[in-house]
Amino acid sequence: MKGNITKQRIVNQSLALFNQFGVRGTSLSDVMRVTKLEKGGIYRHFESKEQIVETALRFYIASVESRLAKATEGLTSPRRRLAEIIKSFAGIAENPVVPGGCFIMNMAVDTDHAEAGPHPLVVLSFKRWERLFVSEIQNGIKQGEFREDVDAKSFAAIAICSIEGSIVLSSTYPGLKSSQVIVKHLLGIIDQF
């Protein structure tokens, strides 16, 4: 039990470092400093920094997906579900899982010029979010809530890019209130479906 608590503490504190300073900008010494653990204490739970990063990514993804699931719990209307997904996803700007914005986007930027390319979990996350938007729109078309000519994939791309961009802007220029503007804009698009 205590081992699991320590492991989760390492993940939480490392995630905050990775999100604010980047994976490449965070050393194992930084992780040791914030967790107040020696190298052996960290390696008791993780084989490498890469394993900490992967565990932190999985934790972050699960946290965001849990928020999205809670936002749509009990809703049957695809239109309402889509609206709540947008609000919840954009809500990361005002109520982040971890300080520093969206970890998935930050990881994508952090690894943009890396030789190996983006982390596979980052790519998977964006694909899952795209499928979520597409699925809700397709259900809305089947149920007659949306027009048949709605381009679900294009809307998913617009929504993800807009929301992720608004999260970045919210952390760098909060006075702009970009996430609120984007939510209103995306909801307006849905109203035209």
Boundaries of domain holding 90: 2-191
142: domain CATH number is: 1.10.357.10
Question: Domains in the chain: how many in total?
Answer: 1
Structure tokens at 43: 């390696």
**pLDDT confidence band for 172 (50 / 70 / 90):** confident
C-alpha 101: how far from chain center: 9
| Overall average pLDDT of the 103-114 stretch | 80
Q: Which residue has the tokens 């204490």?
A: 41
pLDDT single digits (tens) 70-80: 999 999 999 99
End-to-end CA distance of the chain: 50
pTM of the model: 0.88
* CA–CA gap between residue 150 and residue 120 (Å, rounded): 30
Angle at 177 between CA 174 and CA 178, to 5 degrees: 105
Q: Which of 122, 83, 73, 82 is nearest to 102 (CA)?
A: 122
